[in-house]
Amino acid sequence: MSTGIQSTNVRRGKRDADRRPPRTDKLVPVSASADIVIVGGGCMGASTAYHLTRRGVTNLILVEREAQLGAGSTGRNAGGVRHQFSTEANIRLSIESIGSLETFRDDVGFEIDFHQDGYLFLLARPEHVEVFRRNVDLQRRMGIPVEWLDASEAARLAPGLDVTGVSAATFCARDGIADPNGVTMGFARAAQQAGARIQRETEVVGLRTSGGRIVAVETNRGVIGTRAVVNAAGPQASIIGRMAGVDIPVAPYRRHIFIAQSPTPGLWERPGAGLVPSSRIMVIDFETTFYFHREGPGVLFGMSDPDEPPGYDTTVRWDFLDQVTRVAMRRLPALGDAAISHAWAGLYEMTPDAMPIIGAVDEVRELYVIAGFSGHGFQHSPAAGRILADMIVGRDPGVDVRPFRFERFAQGALQPEANVV
Ligand SMILES: Cc1cc2nc3c(=O)[nH]c(=O)nc-3n(C[C@H](O)[C@H](O)[C@H](O)COP(=O)(O)OP(=O)(O)OC[C@H]3O[C@@H](n4cnc5c(N)ncnc54)[C@H](O)[C@@H]3O)c2cc1C
């Protein structure tokens, strides 16, 4: 694989560039008040803002430290959306969220480029096969149309795939790929149209409490008086928590994405070439965590590095590409001749059980958290924002929220998600 045009941290320009809602904030000092302040303009903050406005809470301010929304993990993710999780709680988030993404254009009024070409998990190790058999049983009991495949059936679904060593696979045709920035911008724009204020280039630097409850948010541009705060700061959620003296166990881990292009323009598109899938099917080699899907004329791929320490560094480690390439060429040999046109790194936001935190924090009244989605949060943002909005306004969220409660860590009541890549 040739590294072609290398850039140290190229974000997904096409997705970031043209889709921003019009700026309504001005670079003036903030001196305001609001019923609720949402910290963080990624998919979680935007979804929460949207769902709050739908529940009549429009006196809210979303603050984002960057010049644009979706500049954190949301703008750096692979766009994957799947039902195939191991816990009932996550599968429920997927069922609701995928339903929302299917009707997003009509409901929210924004195009999100949602392609349901399926997710294919390749399994090589007997212990993984056993776990996935249990997962598939659970998923099917919950009405998800998941197929159990042998290696040759898997190979037929994804032309160009080498299935050597694969003993089984699972496939769900309703899984797919959507545009994370489209979802974020759609939610943000609709919230703005309903009266929510969005304050960019505004960094939260402190939280003020009095008598055990939130009273104000300090930013680099002034103080916002408020009675409630939503911590939607993604990988930075623990930093925001510390501002109120709360230890939120969300740890940042760097993850890379590379975009490969065919060595000869059009080669991968030639009819019958069979070098790479023509659909946008997402393929995940569960043993190595190598995954790929088509991205325009190219192929997007990534893999986790088990030796990566926690930290906020998002510069691209080009030496890691060699490690990924060895696995990539084995599973998708066409990548051996490819050139890398783009690469970037973003942060997973891991909790100890790889389950999100959605809800209130007991120690400080009216401090809410929606964070810790452990590398699969984009796809759950529609349901997660809806659930948190219901909790904030005192409505029954209609789902079992115990697996998401912040208190579970202190109580040791963890039900870990096993299907994390
Ligand atoms: C390489 C990679 C691939 C991924 N692939 C997938 C995938 O295929 N499918 C999937 O569902 N998920 C995927 N994820 C995970 C997904 O991106 C995250 O779970 C999701 O984006 C989290 O959204 P968020 O809104 O919580 O965080 P973010 O998008 O990080 O948003 C938090 C925001 O808070 C802002 N902020 C932080 N501190 C402050 C402060 N002090 N003041 C003001 N603003 C602040 C940040 O600037 C940021 O914009 C992937 C992640 C990575 C890194």
Comparing CA positions, the residue from 270, 331, 349, 262 lying closest to residue 297 is 262
For position 406, what pLDDT does the model report?
97
Choose one of 310, 325, 350: the last residue of a domain: 350
Q: Which residues pair with 282 in a beta bridge?
A: 119
Work out the burial of residue 333: count CB atoms within 10 Å of its CB; fewer than 13 is exposed, 13-18 middle, 19 or more buried: middle
Q: Name the domain count of the chain.
A: 2
Domain of 304? 116-175+252-350
282 with 176: CB under 8 angstroms? Answer: yes
Choose one of 307, 324, 350: the last residue of a domain: 350
Query: Which 3 state secondary structure label does DSSP give 61?
Result: strand
| pLDDT above 50: residue 150 | yes
| Cα–Cα distance, 63 to 218 (Å, whole number) | 11
> Residues 123-129: what's their mean pLDDT?
97
Ligand 1 lining (C-beta closer than 6 Å): 39-45, 63-66, 71-74, 76-80, 203-204, 232-236, 255, 257, 302, 346-349, 371, 373, 375-379
Q: Domain containing 330 — which CATH number?
A: 3.30.9.10
Provide the pairing of β-strand 204-210 with 339-350: unpaired
| Cα–Cα distance, 168 to 20 (Å, whole number) | 42
| Cα 40 to ligand 1 centre (Å) | 9
Give me the residue label for tokens 């939130």.
Answer: 214
Q: How confident is the model at residue 10 (pLDDT cuts 50, 70, 90)?
A: very low
Q: Name the maximum alpha-carbon separation found in the chain.
A: 69
User: Does 295 share its domain with 361?
Assistant: no
| pTM of the full structure | 0.94
Task: From residue 418, give the alpha-carbon distance in Å to each of 132, 185, 353.
Answer: 10, 31, 9
Ligand 1 closest atom vs CA 255 = 1
For position 7, what pLDDT does the model report?
33
The residue whose CA has the least distance to atom 18 of ligand 1 is 377
Q: 337-377 pLDDT, tens per residue?
A: 999 999 999 999 999 999 999 999 999 999 999 999 999 99
Ligand 1 closest atom vs CA 203 = 42
| Cα 180 to ligand 1 centre (Å) | 10
Ligand 1 closest atom vs CA 347 = 53
Query: Which 3 state secondary structure label does DSSP give 413?
Result: coil
The residue whose CA has the least distance to atom 2 of ligand 1 is 77
Other C-beta atoms lying within 10 Å of the C-beta of residue 21: 20
The residue whose CA has the least distance to atom 4 of ligand 1 is 77
| Cα 235 to ligand 1 centre (Å) | 7
Residue 264 lies in a domain: yes
| Cα–Cα distance, 53 to 51 (Å, whole number) | 5
Task: From residue 167, give the alpha-carbon distance in Å to each of 29, 83, 105, 281, 285.
Answer: 60, 22, 39, 20, 12
| Cα–Cα distance, 293 to 303 (Å, whole number) | 12
User: Does 357 share its domain with 239?
Assistant: yes
| Cα 251 to ligand 1 centre (Å) | 12
331: left (phi over 0), alpha (psi -120 to 50) or beta: alpha
For position 29, what pLDDT does the model report?
59
> Residues 124-138: what's their mean pLDDT?
97
Q: 202-219 pLDDT, tens per residue?
A: 999 999 999 999 999 999
> Residues 70-93: what's their mean pLDDT?
97
Q: Which residues contact 40 (CB under 8 A, 6 or more apart)?
A: 62, 63, 64, 72, 231, 232, 233, 234, 236, 240
For position 413, what pLDDT does the model report?
82
Comparing CA positions, the residue from 70, 30, 65, 29 lying closest to residue 47 is 70
| pLDDT above 90: residue 22 | no
| Cα–Cα distance, 160 to 155 (Å, whole number) | 8
The residue whose CA has the least distance to atom 35 of ligand 1 is 40
Q: Domain containing 27 — which CATH number?
A: 3.50.50.60
| Tokens matching residue 12 | 């997904």
The residue among 9 and 109 whose pLDDT is bigger is 109
Handedness of CA 392, 395, 396, 399 (dihedral sign): negative
Q: 42-56 pLDDT, tens per residue?
A: 999 999 999 999 999
Provide the pairing of β-strand 80-81 with 339-350: unpaired
Query: Which 3 state secondary structure label does DSSP give 52?
Result: helix
Amino acid identity, position 357: I
| Cα 211 to ligand 1 centre (Å) | 32
| pLDDT above 50: residue 20 | no
Residue 100 lies in a domain: no
Ligand 1 closest atom vs CA 66 = 47
> Residues 25-40: what's their mean pLDDT?
78
For position 3, what pLDDT does the model report?
45
Choose one of 350, 373, 388: the last residue of a domain: 350
Phi, psi of 63, deg, nearest 5? -110, 135
The mean pLDDT value of the chain amounts to 93
> Residues 20-30: what's their mean pLDDT?
51
| Cα–Cα distance, 227 to 366 (Å, whole number) | 7
Ligand 1 closest atom vs CA 235 = 30
| Cα 381 to ligand 1 centre (Å) | 10
How is 350-373 classified by DSSP, letter by letter?
E-TTS--EEEE-TTSBTEEEEE--
> Residues 223-242: what's their mean pLDDT?
98
Ligand 1 closest atom vs CA 302 = 1
User: Does 260 share its domain with 304?
Assistant: yes
User: Does 283 share its domain with 199?
Assistant: no
Highest mean pLDDT of the ranges 25-34, 136-145, 266-275:
136-145
For position 271, what pLDDT does the model report?
83
Q: Rg of the chain's alpha carbons, rounded to an integer? A: 21
| pLDDT above 70: residue 31 | no
Residue 308 DSSP one-character state:
P
For position 1, what pLDDT does the model report?
56
Residue 8 lies in a domain: no
User: Does 263 share its domain with 232?
Assistant: no
| Cα 416 to ligand 1 centre (Å) | 20
Residue 1 lies in a domain: no
Task: From residue 100, give the alpha-carbon distance in Å to each of 34, 127, 178.
Answer: 28, 34, 12
Other C-beta atoms lying within 10 Å of the C-beta of residue 137: 12
For position 350, what pLDDT does the model report?
98
User: Does 256 share its domain with 403?
Assistant: no
For position 12, what pLDDT does the model report?
38
For position 127, what pLDDT does the model report?
96
Residue 343 lies in a domain: yes
Pocket test for ligand 1, best of 378, 381, 387, 388 (most atoms within 8 A of CB): 378
The residue whose CA has the least distance to atom 33 of ligand 1 is 40
The H or E element that residue 122 is part of is: strand 119-123
For position 6, what pLDDT does the model report?
34
| Cα–Cα distance, 19 to 200 (Å, whole number) | 15
Q: 237-263 pLDDT, tens per residue?
A: 999 999 999 999 999 999 999 999 999
The H or E element that residue 50 is part of is: helix 43-54
| Cα–Cα distance, 98 to 383 (Å, whole number) | 9
Task: From residue 372, give the alpha-carbon distance in Å to each of 10, 177, 193, 246, 377.
Answer: 24, 21, 28, 15, 8
Question: What proportion of the chain, given as a percentage, has pLDDT over 90?
Answer: 90
User: Does 326 share its domain with 362?
Assistant: no
Q: How confident is the model at residue 21 (pLDDT cuts 50, 70, 90)?
A: very low
